[in-house]
Structure formats: structure tokens, C-alpha cells
Chains A and B, each alone.
Chain A
Amino acid sequence: MSDLLFDSSEWDFAQLKRVFSAIEDVALNDLMLDVYPNQIEIISSEQMLDAYSAHGMPLMYHHWSFGKIFAREEAMYSKGWQALAYEIVINSNPCIAYLMEENTTTMQALVMAHACFGHNHFFKNNYLFRQWTNAEAILDYLAFSKKYVSACEEKYGFDEVEAILDAAHSMMDQGVFRYRRPPRPSKVQREERLRKRRQYEEQSFNDLWRTLPGTARDMSADMASVDEDETVGLHAPMNLPEENLIYFLEKHSPVLKNWQREILRIVRNIAQYFYPQMQTKVMNEGCATFVHHYIMNALYDRGQISEGSILEFLHSHSSVVMQPGFDEGRYYGINPYALGFAMMSDIQRISEQPTAEDRDWFPDFAGKGNWRDILKYAWANYRDESFIQQFLSPKVMRDLKLFAVRDKTEDPVYTVAAIHNDAGYRKLRTSLARLYDLSTHQPDIQVVGANLAGDRTLTLRHNRHRGIPLAQNTKDSVLKNIRRLWGHNVVLEEPEDM
């Protein structure tokens, strides 16, 4: 009598459910994961392409840039240059995972372990996600924003809406709060506010206002209604310097209409939603990869999956965590799956079979055997930068043969700053950690002044990181977008010495 969960590569729903419960058993009772309820959706490849084009979200407002992504992905896929992802998972409650119908049963098992438990646990527990995203509200919010944007398109025309979205998209990297979470009204409150606002406009409609010169009415309406709960408007304190450009323009731009402010807000909220994901690529993928690897092996050990499928699994697992060297043609930077998985597996190894070196580097947990707790602690409380700084072990650096190269623009040569040896480990680890600190590779641009009394010039400052300037070609077009939203002159300072 065999205990195998499945014996063919064709799957059906009954089988998927059986496999899912087996996986769930390992995940909850062995790994002790803590997850949102799962919702698993089977989709076809066309639908996967659809999902790709809108940041993988099931709902999204319409914009041409998503069409562009779709066109590119479709071209790549249909030419066979690029395979589609096996799954997409969404940080929401319930946690939605899309599975491709083409996957074999083994692959579906891998993908469920990966997405429904790995990513899901990470979304639910990591401090960045807890602090900055609302898993409960995101789908509602996306539905709201989609509806809102298309209503605006209908009312004000495609071109108007497109112009605002284009401008807002170009500032998305600078449209997030990094240090404080903005107050966030719930969807119901938001709709109520919008409804009231509209009602007020309708009730107070008087055609006479139209004959008044200029934008007098628009301005007063704006100020009254931008946010009733936050005292903002032209005269509100601007709290400069402000790091969130979109927020600043939304609240303080003298020329925007209400609906334009609302669209800025939508883009800003979506940027904020994705901000934690950008800071935790290595950890998130590492966590999911570690979890699927552990679960699949556990199922095999229990005799629930066959040798054939564990080999199939290992084949795709090893291509996922492959890290080509810097001098190979297929090298595209450090593979977050590879780095994350290597580090997390190493934590398990250090916890169970430490070497003298490990005891030296990680006295806290080397040899204690409690790797489950350590990993869960790390998943909950770190982001890529701090995780690497804390947990990257010499062995992983040796295995990946990491080395750091310093590049000074005026030097004619690159200098190897550190390699994987005793002298270099710590330097290397710091260098790598800094690479994963978003603030070092996203330009730090802040609003430092707005001359409201005078010519309304808006002053931005780029605080250079290690003297690296902004790329000239995009700088001008983004500034043009900001000028459009601000309505007046915008200058960007780039002090040399920062």
C-alpha cells in the first residue's frame, strides 16, 4: 500500500487538495509557520501574462505602461525567449496565489509550498509588511482606485488622466514614506468622504460661480476638501524637508484639482504598498525557497511523493537557486533566490552542525539546534540589508565566491576591495548589505523649499550618495513632470559635497 499523494504529472482538484493538506501539515506542525488563509487560483498562460502586466495584481487601474509591459512580455513569451513564472502571490488577506495550469503535479506542490506557505508566512510576519501594508484592505483599495481612475477618464478625458498618471509614475520611487506611516483612512471612510465631497459640490452648485474670474472656486473647494481630517491646503504647515514628493504635491500643489490629488494619492499608496517588497527581495524569496525545499524533502521522507517527482523537484529547484558567476553570459546580478536560500540553509546548518568558525561568528545560536526559531525571528524582524549584515556567514561568502569591487569614477581602474578570505569577510558583508539598502541606490530627493509668497518656485534637493550624480537624460523629463503638477517653476539642487 503506497502512501503516495500522487503518481502522475496530470493533476486534478481533488489531488491538489490532498497535496495541499499534506503540505499544510508540514508547514504548520513541523515548521510552525503562521499564515493568512490561502486562496489558490488556477490560471492559464494568457491570464498569467495579463497578471504580469499590472504588477501581478488582480486589479489595477488602466494605464498604457501596463500595456507596454504586456506587449513586451507577450513578445518574449511567444518567441520562447522567456518562460512564465510558475506562480504569482499577492500580499493580501486571504493570500491569493495564482498557479499556472501547465504545471505538473510536482510543480504545483512546489509552488503551493513556495507561495502559500513561504511567501504567505513572510507577508504575514515581516515587520515591514506589518507596518506599512494593509493586507486586509489592498484588494478593496485596488478596486476603488480602478473605479476611480476610470470614472475620471470618463469625466475629464483620457489625456488628462494619462498626464497625471505619467507624472505620478515618474516619481514613484520618491513617492513613499520611509520613516513614518501616513494616517490611512479605510476604504469606507474614503468613499464616504468622496461621496460627501461630491454631494456638497452638487448641492452648492451655482452657475454664477462660473462667471467669477480665475480659479477662485476651485481653490477654495480644494482647500476645504482635500482632507477633512488633516489640516492641509495651501496654508497648512508643509513640514519641510519632505521626502515624499508625491505626497507633497498632492497636499500642497497650488494648481491641482481634487480628482488629480486623489489620483496622486492612489499612485502613492500603491508605491507604498510595494515598498516593503522592494526591500525584502532576498529574504522573501529566500524564505519561500527554503520553505518549499524543506517541505518537499519532508514529503519525500514521509514517503508521500515518489522518487521521480523529488528528482523533478530538485531539477527545477536547482535551476531556481543557480547563481552564475559574474563573467558568465547569463549573469544578471546576484540571484535573490540563491543568496536567500543559501543564507537560510546555512542558518540551519550552523544551528545543527556548527564549525569552530561558526561558533566564533554566531555564538548566539551555533549548535543550539533551534534553527526554526532563529529563522522565524529573522523573517519577522529583518529586511535584506540588516539580514545580510547580521547573518551572512563566511561559508556562504566562500561558496558564492563573493568579492567586492570599488569603482571611483576618476580612477582608470576598478579596485578589488575585499574577497572571501579572513581579511575580507566583514568588509564584504558590509558592502553587500549596503547594496541592498534601497536608500543607497534610489536617489534621495527631498522638497526643501516652496516660495509661496514670491514666485512659487519649488526647490528640491538631491542628497548625493557617495558623490554619485543623477542621470541627466531622465532628470529633465521627471522635472518637467513635477513642474506640470506644481504649476510653477521647479529647481533641483545637487550640492557637490553631500
Chain B
Amino acid sequence: MTNFIDRRLNPKGKSLANRQRFIRRARAEIKDAVQKSLKDRTVSDFAKNQRISIPTKSTKEPRFRHDPAAGGEHERVLPGNKDFVEGDQIKKPRQGDGQGRGKDASTSGEGEDDFSFTLSQDEILDLFFEDLELPNLVKTALKEIKSYTWRRAGMTTSGSPNQINLVRTMRNSFGRRLAMRRPKEEEIEVLRQQLVVLKAREPDDHDQIIALEAEIARLEHRRKWVPFLDPLDVRFNAFERQPVPTSRAVMFCLMDVSGSMGEREKDLAKRFFMLLHLFLKRRYQRLDIVFIRHTHDAQEVDEHTFFYSRQSGGTIVSTALEEMKKIVHERYATGEWNIYAAQASDGYTQTGDATRCVEMLNHDLMPICQYYAYIEILDEREMEVFSSEESGAELWRAYRTVAKGWKNFATKRIAKPSDIFPVFRELFSKDHAEAKS
């Protein structure tokens, strides 16, 4: 009459469809919340599961409700009376306190300002990258295969002794011995015993002795003729070199930290670097980040120093490129690493330096980079002045010429946080990638 059913192995995530609908519904708010949390996180650990709070606006489920506070009369029954007697009067708390404590208020969702829950890493990232595509990734990843791995590839008949496959070899040997009817040692031994016995009992029965001796000789000959292990039997494990797509990337963050880059500029740059990092992280198993800051002199630093410490001095952008080139040569041989670079600057550099930058980019860096993004951080007033793509400071104009020659080189201007995401999308949008490639 009673059924016991073990459902534990049934697929989980029955309400996944509901969750997707929920995220779809609250998309705007969730996106907003994720954006806000950017500021407090480091470049590399942004993309973890995280708890976010969203306003309940779009996910309200309104129902008709009574509002006892607004009028009328009602009665409540409470447990746990201590010293009240009938007719006692209790002062009401001021409006708003003590209301909405019942179960109804908490389940209906009213009264809560925020709804918090945990978004998985995938969901966060999907929100970011719904329609972005890494530029040239497919192309280069498939074309420029330069690293290999050894894969098993069956058996061969030749190879080095340390690769002998014993099981297979012995199996072959056994089969051959069976087929060729190689006499066993025991069989010959039995005949020898018979011979000894025969010689002892009937030393005159020459015919039989000779026959037996001949048989023994024949078998011994056959044993030699069909060896225990023949070179034919031997098998070796075979391996093959297989090309693997490069799955490592390094991301260079270059930033001008001279006096003209204030907190605002750095914050904008940080957000851009974060986004780029996230994006690459999705596509590469291993991702290194190198932070290079520069004034009139460049050095590699850790993340904290990169974003938060100040340095004074002039501005020579080419020093950073020089440093990047050096690090690439030392640590990131081009074949094994996909190299990405993002440079943030306010657009000022020493007069004449821009030419040198262009030269370095054209000759040394662009040929080895998958992608190079230059972000110029302006204030809003400048943004209006330089409304045209063509006009700009020296570095901007110089970089425009690089952009013409390399399709994996991009330049953009941003002035406020809300510019970043659109810019980022534009940089990496599918259309853009297609148009350029």
C-alpha cells in the first residue's frame, strides 16, 4: 500500500527556470547592484559568488491588504500575558514602530526595502558579457598553435624499451606459442623420465629408446625454433604530439600615475581594468596580471600600489611600453601566452614622446599582442571640447595613427563611470570584432 521512492538522485535545479525568470525580471536592478559592488573589489576577485541586494521595485507582488493603521478598529489576541488585566491601557508606540511584525508582513514582501540573495559567478558574468565577444580570439587561437602535449595513440611495433607494453607483448607471445604449438618444458621432461625408466628396465629395447630420443630431440629443436618471445610479439606504447590551443593569457595594465591622474581618474581606470580582467578570465584557464605604472619612469608594482600610491614626476608614456616589452621577453614568450594590454592615461605626455610610443607599438608590441586597448580619461569639460574623434591631445592623435594600421588596437575616451560599460561593450562588441577582423 505504501510506496517508498528515493528521489535523491533525481535532477536538482527544478526551479532553475524560475530563477532565470526572476533574474530576467529584475535584470535592471541586479545589473545595477553588480555594478555598484565593483568599486569595493579587487581586479582579480570580482567574479566570485556574491550576495547582492536589489530594491524590491520590480519584483513586488502587490495584493490588496488591509491597513489597520489608517483607520477602523481591530482586535488582536496575544499569548504570554504577565500582569495585564481587563481595561488596562497601553500607550501606542509612535507610528511605524512595531507595525508589520506579523508573518503577513514578512511574506508579502512589503515593508522590506531590499531583497538580497546570492548570485553565482556565472550569473554575474553573464549579465556582463551577454553579447560580447573576444576580438580575434577564435582566429588566433586556432591559427597560432604553438604548444603541444603528448597524447596516447595506441601501440606501435617499434619504440624505446622503456615504453614496452608488457601486457600486450605477452599476450601476443602467448597466442603465437599456442598457434605454433611450442612444446612445453613439462612435456619434454615427461619423455626424459620415460627414457630413464626405459633405459633402466629394458636396456636392450633399442628401437624404442631411439624413437624416444628422436622425439625428445625433435621437441627440443621445435622449442628453439618457436622462441618464447619473438621480436614480432613486442609492442610499444605510442604517443603523439598534439597541438593544444593556448589557454594562458597575461594582461598588462599600464597606467599613468603622475600628479595629473587624481582619484577619479584612477577609479575609472580601475573599473576598466576590472572589466577587461573578468572578460579574459572567462576565456583562459590561467590569467596573469602585470601592473605597470609610470611617471617619467616606469616600474612593475603590485595591485595595491598600482591603484592607491602616488608618485610625482613628469610623464613619459614610452617608459611603460619599454617596461612591458622587457617583461614580455623575460616571462611571457609569445607562443605560449596570449598577451592583452590595457593602457589608461589622461592623454598627456612629454612633447615628442608620442612619436616614440607609436614606433614602439608598431614595431615591438602590436605584433605580439592579441589586443591593445587605450583608454583616455578626460574630465567632462574636456569630453565636450574633444567631441570629435579626430581632435585630441598629442597622444590621442598619435594613437589614432596606430589604430589605423592595427585592427586589434582600440582607443576610447571616458569621462564618468557610466561611460565605461558602454565603451567596453563597444570595444568588444561582436559587430566591432567582425568589422575589424
Name A's B-contacting residues (CB within 8 A): 13, 16-17, 20, 24, 37-44, 46-47, 49-51, 53-54, 62-68, 70-72, 74-75, 78, 94, 98, 101, 116, 158, 162, 166, 169-174, 323-328, 331-334, 400-409, 411-421, 423-424, 428, 431-432, 434-435, 441-443, 445, 462, 464-475, 477-478, 481
CB of B18 within 8 A of CB of A13, answer no
Complex contact B19–A407 (CB within 8 A):
no
16 A-B contact pairs sorted by A residue (CB < 8 Å): A44-B8, A50-B15, A54-B18, A64-B22, A68-B22, A71-B117, A72-B117, A169-B61, A174-B64, A401-B81, A402-B78, A407-B68, A435-B76, A468-B71, A477-B60, A477-B62
Q: Are B90 and A42 in contact (CB under 8 A)?
A: no
Interface of chain B residues 41 through 68 with chain A (CB within 8 A):
51, 59-68
CB distance from B333 to the nearest CB of A (A): 44
A66-B15 CB under 8 A given contacts A158-B24, A162-B25, A469-B70: yes
- Alpha-carbon distance between A431 and B77 when the two chains are bound, in angstroms: 7
- Please determine whether B15 and A67 come into contact, CB atoms closer than 8 angstroms: yes
Q: Is the CB of B77 within 8 A of A428?
A: yes
Q: Which residues on the A side are within 8 Å of B70 (C-beta)? A: 409, 468-469, 471-472
Whether A332 touches B102, Cβ cut-off 8 Å, given contacts A62-B21, A470-B64, A478-B62, is: yes
Interface of B toward A, CB cutoff 8 Å: 1-8, 10, 12-15, 17-26, 51, 59-82, 84-92, 101-103, 110, 115-118
**Cβ 8 A contact of A471, one of B25, B66, B101:** B66
Residues of B within 8 A of A478 (CB): 62-64
Contact yes or no, B90 A414, CB < 8 A: yes
Are B71 and A402 in contact (CB-based, < 8 A)? no
A415-B87 contact in complex given A64-B21, A409-B69, A471-B70, C-beta closer than 8 Å: yes
Which residues of B lie under 8 Å from residue A66 when comparing CB positions? Answer: 15, 18, 22
Name the one of B3, B88, B103 contacting A40, with C-beta atoms under 8 angstroms. B3
- Report whether B75 and A37 are in contact in the complex, using a CB–CB cutoff of 8 Å: no
Beyond A62-B17, A403-B81: 20 further Cβ-contacts under 8 Å?
A: A20-B4, A41-B7, A47-B8, A50-B13, A72-B115, A98-B7, A162-B21, A169-B61, A324-B79, A326-B78, A401-B81, A405-B77, A405-B78, A409-B70, A412-B91, A413-B92, A419-B86, A431-B77, A435-B76, A470-B65
A403 adjacent to B78 (CB under 8 Å): yes
B63 touches A170 (CB 8 A): yes
Contacts of B77 in A (CB 8 A): 334, 402-405, 428, 431-432, 435
Closest chain B CB from A470 CB (angstroms) = 6
Given contacts A40-B4, A420-B81, A470-B65, contact A63 B21 (CB under 8 A): yes
Among A47, A71, A332, the residue within 8 A (CB) of B7 is A47
By a CB distance below 8 angstroms, the chain B residues around A24 are: 2
Q: A54-B18, A413-B89 are in contact. Are A326 and B71 (CB under 8 A)?
A: no
Q: B66: which of A47, A435, A470 is its contact (CB, 8 Å)?
A: A470
Q: Kindly provide the distance from the CB of B159 to the nearest chain A CB, expressed in whole angstroms.
A: 50
Complex alpha-carbon distance, A158 and B22, angstroms: 12
The answer to whether A471 touches B19 (Cβ under 8 A) is: no
A37 and B61 contacting across the interface, CB-CB below 8 Å: no
In the bound complex, residues from chain A placing their C-beta under 8 Å from that of B26 are 64
A428 to B92, CA, bound (A): 21
Shortest distance from the beta carbon of A386 to any chain B beta carbon, whole Å: 16
Q: Is the CB of A54 within 8 A of B67?
A: no
Question: Given A414-B90, A464-B72, is A53 in contact with B8 using a C-beta cutoff of 8 Å?
Answer: no
Q: Which residues of B contact A420 (CB under 8 A)?
A: 81
With beta carbons under 8 angstroms apart, the residue of B22, B74, B75, B102 that contacts A71 is B22
